[in-house]
Structure 1
């Protein structure tokens, strides 16, 4: 009983430290991974629910630190690139799944998670594909493991290749699965990388809706499509931050504070995601789905990095 209480206290201490600003997103994720891989999570279901809500709220808060003109420009340009990237990732993912003999539903979930926005896309497509709990768990586990690697690896590669902040933000948005890791990597790289990465990533996330609807129609599924309303709220926040301070200068400080709050919230999200990756999760994923996820991710990241570095993709 005492050990359970101690683990729970450590969990809450991790949340407080992540929210305090004392550590950055990569360290928060690393702290969460250490917790998840060494201890038994005291509140797994509550942690997943909190991370989902907190991610959406934090993204909206980040909108208060964005310039509308930059958001529109990045979103408009990024929409085309994300469409090409999604088509490429889905096609290649299904091919890899067949070659590795991964189950059809599981293969499609991993492909959708890589192509669009990780856990959110898998959560939206799962009911439409009538995926069971094991298929959902394996797909989410694969994506979350690769998310963790990307957050720690991408800034290092970007610095070694001398990518500009705009280039890095675009690469992160096209090649990292989840919004939280895109924002975490962008925040570590710089303010412009954060703005570009967040905006293009949200443009990519919008593809959840048409893809889920199309799949539901083809399969004649009656599952309810989850609309990503937080993206609309992010845009509203950017509009308010861009125009309201012109008429009410005193609101500038409020909006800046909300933006900082969003960054703190995302740091907590990354800690929570880390705590959800346990040794049992890694065992459950299995070698074939993991190979599909890794191979597909390397291909998407490699091709998009090459195209950006060569100047074929630019904002």
Structure 2
């Protein structure tokens, strides 16, 4: 009972912020739910820091929201990624999808080193840019458990360029003469967060929006090898430094296994269609709760401390992804 009372204020605050921001974000897809929840959390955090003792009251619940709810949200996300239904799109777009992932990973390593960005920030910005924005950062956070200020900064960086992409990509796509499916592939591989991909697709056309979301879902499946790779990397680092390496089970985090199982269940059609949409909505809401909790740790002072390098890294990676995606599309005959 005491534990519940300790956690309740922070959990309730994050839930209220997410619930308030969700309908507004859906009504303004150019901004999106993630940006609004992160911003609402940042505003709430500023107020809490000015109120004596308030931050201490809500912090335990906010910390649980940041850490424990991530895995649940990611598993539910898998129920919206039916393996069978996305395989055909995956085959058609494999070269572009895999090519941009490889180019993005190499660019993240090279540019991150050149800019001397710290390992945690570079990893979070890279996975958010190259895979699927907030969902990928959430997954990486659950594995790495990085400093929460760096998580907040990485999310802010990703969303800044997502909003820019929604404004820039549709007119560029028209100027390049892209078809509806070609633009959908470009948006799905080069823009990060689902809400921004959808917004750019809607601006370009209904066909582009539909195909972009499918491509985005296929791209999101990279969360599985991402998490396993991060875990293996942590084990190698621990072995090199003499730190405890953990058990074999830790190489395969439970939430990753459940995410993959959920995707397989979705592909088998076991779940009634009537449950798919509500579960997807719950997953999106839980991610919004997590982002609101993370946002409370974001402040102008902390952004100044982090510096401009992670922001520059995100911008350069976004540019590399956009150009490499177009180049691969031209090579493979998509445009």
> What is aligned with 2:4?
none
* Alignment-derived partner of residue 43 in structure 2: 38
Distance 1:185 1:88 in 2: 22
Does residue 66 of structure 2 align to residue 48 of structure 1?
yes
Alignment match of 1:153 (pick from 159, 164, 175): 164
TM-fit CA distance, 1:52: 0.9
- Equivalent residues in 2 for 1:186-197, closer than 5 Å: 186-188=197-199, 189=201, 190-197=209-216
Output the CA distance in 1 between the equivalents of 2:109 and 2:325. Answer: 20
Q: Are 2:287 and 1:287 equivalent residues in the alignment? A: no
Contact kept in structure 2, 1:64 and 1:238, CA below 8 Å: yes
Is 2:83–2:266's contact at 8 Å kept on the other side of the alignment?
A: yes
Question: Which TM-score applies when normalising by structure 2?
Answer: 0.67
C-alpha displacement of 1:219: 4.1
Whole-Å Cα distance in 2 between the matches of residues 279 and 185 of structure 1?
23
Counterpart position of 2:5: none
Give the match for residue 205 of structure 2: none
Gaps of 5+ in 2: 1-7, 49-54, 128-135, 202-208
TM-score after normalising by structure 1? 0.70
Partner Cα distance (2:39, 2:268) in 1: 39
289 and 60 in structure 1: CA distance in 2 versus 1, 3 angstrom threshold: same
- d(CA) in 2 for partners of 1:313 and 1:300? 21
* Corresponding position of 1:184: 195
Aligned to 1:120: 139
The corresponding residue for 1:199 is: 218
Cα pair distance change 1:283/1:93, threshold 3 Å: same
State the Cα deviation string for residues 163-217 of structure 1 (Å, max 9, x = none): 6111100112xxx3xxxxx222234332221111121132265133234314522
Are positions 1:239 and 2:244 aligned together?
no
Aligned to 1:302: 319
| Distance 1:16-1:233 versus aligned 2 partners, 3 A rule | farther
Q: 1:273 to 1:210 in 2, by over 3 A?
A: closer
The answer as to whether partners of 1:61 and 1:261 remain within 8 angstroms in 2 is no
Contact 1:68 1:238 in 2 (8 A): no
Structure 1: gaps (5+ residues): 127-134, 177-181, 245-250
* Deviations, residues 136-179 of structure 1 (Å, cap 9, x unaligned): 1232122121233244333222223226111100112xxx3xxx
Residues 66 and 89 of structure 1: CA distance in aligned 2, closer, same or farther (over 3 Å): same
CA RMSD of aligned residues (A): 3.7
Confirm whether residue 12 of structure 1 aligns to residue 19 of structure 2: no
